[in-house]
Structure formats: C-alpha cells, structure tokens
Amino acid sequence: MSSSLSLRYGCNPQQTPARVFIKNGDLPITVHSSSPGYINLLDALNSWQLVKELKLTTGLPAASSFKHVSPSGAAVGTPLSDVLKKIYFVDDLELSPLATAYARARGVDRMSSFGDWIALSDTVDVSTAKLISREVSDGVIAPAYEPEALNILKEKKKGKYAVVQIDPAYEPEPIETRDVYGITFEQHRNDRIVSQADFANIVTKKKELSENAIRDMTIAWVTLKYTQSNSVCYAVDGQVIGVGAGQQSRVHCARLAGAKADMWRLRQHPHVLNLPFKTGIKRPDRDNAIDQFLQPDVTDAEKANWKNIFSESPHQLSAQERRAWLDGMSDVVLGSDAFFPFRDSIDRAAKSGVRYVLQPGGSNRDEDVIAACDEYGMTMVFSGVRLFHH
C-alpha cells in the first residue's frame, strides 16, 4: 500500500499534475485493475460512504450507481418482481441479494447510470460481477471480491475497467479539509448516522408509518446525505426511484426527481413492456428509445428514426393513459435534504404517489407545508437534521 496515488489528470485533461494522497498512514484503497481518474475516485469515495451507511442502518446488502458525485440510484437487496426484472433487463439472470441491490440501483434511471461508478457494500460475488460485466460502467468500489468475480471484472473493457477495493475498517479523521482557490476550508465530517429517533416527530394529522416506510425513509435519508445539494429524492420498495440533485430551487428538485419517478413507473406499463424492438437492439439503445417513446412531445423526425429500432410503429400512450397508470403508484417516500419553503413541492409529490414525507423542518412556512400534507393524507416527519452536501 502507499500514501499517494498519481492520476493522469484532474477533473479535465488540462489539469495536471493530479494525485490523491493521505497525510498519515497508507491509502485505504487498492486498485486491482486499470487506473481510476480524479472524478472516478470522487464518485468512489462518496458512493462507498453511502452504501456502507445503508448496510449499517438497514442490515441489507446495498448498492449505488453514481454519476458526477451524486447517485442516480441507490437500493438495498429486496426481492424483485417479474416486472422489475424485465425493465431492469435482468430477467435472464440468477441474482444474489447484492446483485439485486445493484440491479435496482442501476435499473431505476438507466440513462443517467450509463457509464456509472458502482459502489457495493459487501464482497462482490460472481452473480454481481456478471451483471456488472454487461453494463456500460467506469468502475466499481467494494470491500472485497471473490476470486472468480475479480477475474470477471478485470476482463471488462479489455482490462481497462477500474476495480477498487477499500478497507471496510477505515475511518477518516473527524476533521476534514478542502482547498478552494488557494483557501483551505475545515469542518467536522458529517458522520452523524441515521437513527429511529429521526422518524419520531410526526407533525401531520396522519401518524401512520409502516416498517416499509421507515426502511424507505432511511434509504432516502442516507441517499440525500451524499447527494449534491439542493436535493430531493423519491423512494419506494427498498430503492430510490428518482433523484433531483444540485438544483437552486427546491421545487425544481422535486419536479426533476418526480419526473424520474414517473418514468420509472411508466416503464412498467404493459404497453411499454411489449414494445416491438427489432432483434439485436442493444440495451443502451433500448433505454434511449424507451425514454424518447415516453416523452409527450416527440417530433415527427424523432418518430421517423423508430423504424431503425422497432419492427413496427408503436402507439404512444395518451395523456389519459399515462395519468391513469401513474395514479396506480402509491406508498412513495419523498425526502428532502433541507426544509420545504413552500407547499409547491408537496403538490408536485402528490402526483407521484407520495404518501410519506421526510424533511428537517424549520421553515417559516412549515404550517403551510403541514396543511398541504394533511390535504393529501400524507404522513410527514420532521427529522430536525439538515443534509446539505457540497
């Protein structure tokens, strides 16, 4: 092991020299294959914290799919329905619990996860390695690898796939620093772990909070902790189904995450499941075609290209068909990394089946937001914990 690792360049090719290093002791990471880049390692270290904490707080294998230092998906290893297996393109595989967690994390927003960085909470088994081997990805970080799984991953991209192992016992110093424009910032690490007490302050008339809701609130809480702020996420069934990251307005976060949650739901529509793809169309091309097919404003020029994808021209869902299908979505958790300053995010959330809301509270308009939740019959929790991440 070493205290320093040289990199080809920083965020961009013109930013040289570049390296990662540790001031005391050895780096807690070992590179088994290829050479991860600066952004790869930012994704790796942020995503590792997320899955490590999800495993700690839920007791389940966890996975995340990261792009540009925010998760496009995060999940724990709960069983998949046949429909989810199909839309995640894993209905031909036997999946371990860890592989199931990654199938969920990767499958929820396949366009955003294209070329992702993967984090896994447990030893990577052959099932998970086989799944990773056929997806477009930049690299993976995990605490350990089964020998056969490591060999599978080393062969990916003709040996250019980044495989990183991290010491699961590693704990950084409590004080962290960063340099911006030659000036050093210092703060205590955000090392507070989610607890059941975070869900105790229910402020709405409706007080129901099921075990599944608590699990999904936990997933939302931990995901937001490692998502670039402002951030909002929707979660259900053991996974995040939409992330809105890095927006300046909270309602824009809610709209972005809600649009992704809606897309996840619409991909399960029988009409979409039975789209007439031509033989040999690759998964990324299917992802793009499905996304385009589900847009309400597809142009004639875009439709003309469908002859290269579909064996026959498909009928698009009407606005009424879309709304009827989306109305079947329920028990969704809406999580926010900071308070809602207006009720508009709650109004948007109601369109995507949200039944539970998790937020810190503390706005001057908290009563307006509580009233909105009461109107929709939602249960809202004030955690009292802000989760900004920059």
Residue 156 annotated as catalytic: no
Note whether 192-266+328-382 and 275-316 share their fold: no
269 in catalytic set: no
Question: Which superfamily does CATH assign the domain made up of 4-166 to?
Answer: AICAR transformylase, duplication domain (3.40.140.20)
Q: Which stretch of 23-37, 40-54, 242-256, 291-305 has the lowest confidence by average pLDDT?
A: 291-305
Per CATH, the architecture of 275-316 is what? Orthogonal Bundle (1.10)
Catalytic residue among 32, 68, 206, 271: 68
Give the separation between CA 283 and CA 133, rounded to whole angstroms. 13
pLDDT tier at 370 (50, 70, 90 boundaries)?
Answer: very high
pLDDT at 1 over 80: no
Instruction: Give the sheet arrangement for strand 231-236, strand by strand.
Output: 29-33, 162-166, 137-142, 116-120, 62-67, 70-76, 239-245, 231-236, 332-336, 354-359, 379-382
Give me the DSSP letters along 59-70: SS-EEEEEETTE
User: Which residues face 74 on adjacent strands?
Assistant: 64
Residue 359 parent element (H or E): strand 354-359
Catalytic residue among 52, 55, 67, 269: 67
Q: Is 157 annotated in the active site?
A: no
What is residue 270's predicted lDDT score, i.e. its pLDDT?
96
Once rounded to an integer, what is the mean pLDDT over residues 187-203? Answer: 95
CA distance 142 to 160: 17
Q: Is the dihedral of CA 137, 139, 143, 145 positive or negative?
A: positive
Q: What is the pLDDT of residues 66-85, one digit of tens each?
A: 999 999 999 999 999 999 99
The mean pLDDT of the chain is: 96
> Domain coordinates of the chain in residue numbers?
4-166, 192-266+328-382, 275-316
Percent of the chain with pLDDT over 70: 100
> What percentage of the chain exceeds 90 in pLDDT?
93
Out of 46, 85, 130, 230, the active site residue is 230
- The CATH class for the domain spanning 192-266+328-382 reads alpha beta
Burial track 84-118 (b if 16+ CB lie within 10 A, e otherwise):
bbbbbbbeebebbbbbbbbbbbbbbbbebbbebbb
Pairing of strands 332-336, 354-359: parallel
